[in-house]
Amino acid sequence: MKLLPKLPGPLARRLQERKRLRQANGYHFAIASRLRQLNPADWEAVTARGSFFFSADYLTLLEQAGPDNLEPRYALISDDERPLAAVCMQIVRVSLNQLGQPADSKLKDKLAQRILVCGNLLSYGMHAVCFAPDVDPAAVWPAVAEALYRVRRAEKIAGQTNIVLIKDLPELHRQQSAALAGLSYAAVETEPNMVLSLGADIGSYADYLASLTSKYRSAIKQQVMKPFEAAGFAIRPIDQPEALRERLQALYLQVHGNASLRPFTLNDDYWPALQAAAGERLVIHGAFQGDTLHGFIATLKDGDTAYAYHIGFDREVARSGIPLYLRLLHASLAQSLDFGCRRISFGRTALEPKARLGCEPETIHVWVRHRQPMLNQFIRPLLRFIQHEEAPEFSPFKRSSSEGVSV
């Protein structure tokens, strides 16, 4: 019998680790397409201290008023004693019509793919997996991969799901999930999330303005506030989004339709449903000229973090010189401080104006895997060439000789 050559030590160890990761790991899985199908006490036990985006109120909202091309999936991972992790997933059907400018093309719609997303396409941040408070995430991530594998295999009945995407992981979570690399996942750095972090000495919008250098404070006054108010515009909270749902939707679509990638489109019933689910955690501010709404922004409180969550505005009015977008960003900043939040997440787009607010880029990664091993071999090197916009650097805050930035 011919003996096989002995593999080099590093390669042999890598193959052994890969074999170990691909074995059943002994955890127990409960998988559902509706949250109510899972044990609510177990879900609550894992997510009670986590983000609002893992709450039953929010997830039920997505089931009832979410995008038409998005189907939720959930998993609870447990050992013999208790639940360890809650996993939020979405099956999304994406076609070429959702790239570039909208087009009524039957051919584009036929070239559609079903993608399994671990996370939430409607948000930015680590809303993929919530681990129980005393659980080591690194030890459980292989079980998350097994849950995704089980869901993808089950989806063959409804149609092939070729791509698995895990979003959005800051650097710490990427390190904790490093075992995924041994399961043919490739990590890709995306455009950064722009985050404004404020110290305890900034408790109001007036404090924020006072912390800026005169150059940036003057720019806000002369280029944002003054022209906005001179044109007869005012910022007011929208207490009843139901009454303005059609206008909110029209303004949202003006911004949404201009995006180069639109993996989903919200429906007009989403706006009142979001307000009902979030309650006092959410404030929607409108940019009004008289009684006419020309723009809006939603600000969501999630623990110590506030999200400048959704935005829409009249692009024709903005082109006329009214700084709708910038004024709405400042409205969200002020509301975040009123919430008592010390961290404001402004998302990925329009990096420059957010950097001028004082935001700094937070590195975000996604994990990607194709079901075909051969295609994975091609995908991994290609992902290295994906480019994303880099956030510019600005220094809007005053500096102390001993403490640096005042915030």
φ/ψ of 351, rounded to 5, equals -65, -35
φ/ψ of 263, rounded to 5, equals -70, -15
> What does the pLDDT read at residue 388?
67
- What is the Cα–Cα distance from 217 to 180, expressed in whole angstroms? 46
Average pLDDT over every residue of 262-285: 95
What percentage of residues in the chain have a pLDDT greater than 90?
71
> What does the pLDDT read at residue 83?
97
Residues 6+ apart with CB under 8 A from 8: none
> What does the pLDDT read at residue 390?
82
More confident residue, 401 or 80: 80
Average pLDDT of the chain, as a whole number: 88
Strand partners, 344: 196, 306
More confident residue, 16 or 157: 157
**Res. 96 pLDDT band, cuts 50 70 90:** low
For 233-261, the pLDDT digits (tens) are 999 999 999 999 999 999 999 999 887 77
Residue pair 226/217 in contact (Cβ under 8 Å)? The answer is no
Q: How many CB atoms lie within 10 A of CB 171?
A: 12
Kindly report which listed range (94-103, 216-225, 243-252) carries the lowest average pLDDT score. Answer: 94-103
- What is the Cα–Cα distance from 303 to 306, expressed in whole angstroms? 8
Q: How far is CA 247 from the centre of its chain?
A: 24
Answer yes or no: is pLDDT of 7 > 70: no
- What is the Cα–Cα distance from 147 to 29, expressed in whole angstroms? 7
Q: What is the CATH number of domain 14-184?
A: 3.40.630
> What does the pLDDT read at residue 279?
96
What percentage of residues in the chain have a pLDDT greater than 70?
84
> What does the pLDDT read at residue 332?
98
> What does the pLDDT read at residue 379?
56
For 348-396, the pLDDT digits (tens) are 888 999 999 999 999 999 999 987 765 655 555 545 545 567 888 999 9
Residue pair 237/285 in contact (Cβ under 8 Å)? The answer is yes
For 18-60, the pLDDT digits (tens) are 555 455 668 999 999 999 999 999 999 999 999 999 999 999 9
Answer yes or no: is pLDDT of 11 > 70: no
φ/ψ of 83, rounded to 5, equals -75, 140
Going 48 to 52 to 54 to 59, the CA torsion angle's sign is: positive
Residue pair 47/86 in contact (Cβ under 8 Å)? The answer is yes
Average pLDDT over every residue of 276-292: 97
Answer yes or no: is pLDDT of 102 > 90: no
Residue pair 295/322 in contact (Cβ under 8 Å)? The answer is no
Q: How many CA atoms lie within 13 A of 210 on its CB side?
A: 7
> What does the pLDDT read at residue 407?
39
Residue pair 268/66 in contact (Cβ under 8 Å)? The answer is no
For 157-186, the pLDDT digits (tens) are 777 788 899 999 999 999 999 999 999 898
Answer yes or no: is pLDDT of 326 > 80: yes
Q: How many CB atoms lie within 10 A of CB 222?
A: 10
**Res. 406 pLDDT band, cuts 50 70 90:** very low
Residues 6+ apart with CB under 8 A from 238: 244, 248, 284, 285, 286, 293, 296
> What does the pLDDT read at residue 254?
95
Q: Which CATH number fits domain 194-362: 2.80.10.50, 3.30.70.100, 3.40.630.30, 3.90.1010.10?
A: 3.40.630.30
For 180-211, the pLDDT digits (tens) are 999 989 898 888 999 999 999 999 999 999 99
Domain boundaries, the chain: 14-184, 194-362
Strand partners, 186: 368
Residue type, 264: F
Answer yes or no: is pLDDT of 107 > 50: no
> What does the pLDDT read at residue 260?
73
> What does the pLDDT read at residue 405?
45
- Helix (H/G/I), strand (E/B), else coil: 321: coil
Residue pair 207/370 in contact (Cβ under 8 Å)? The answer is no
Q: What is the pTM of this model?
A: 0.87
Residue type, 364: I
Do the domains at 14-184 and 194-362 have one common CATH topology? yes
Q: How far is CA 205 from the centre of its chain?
A: 25
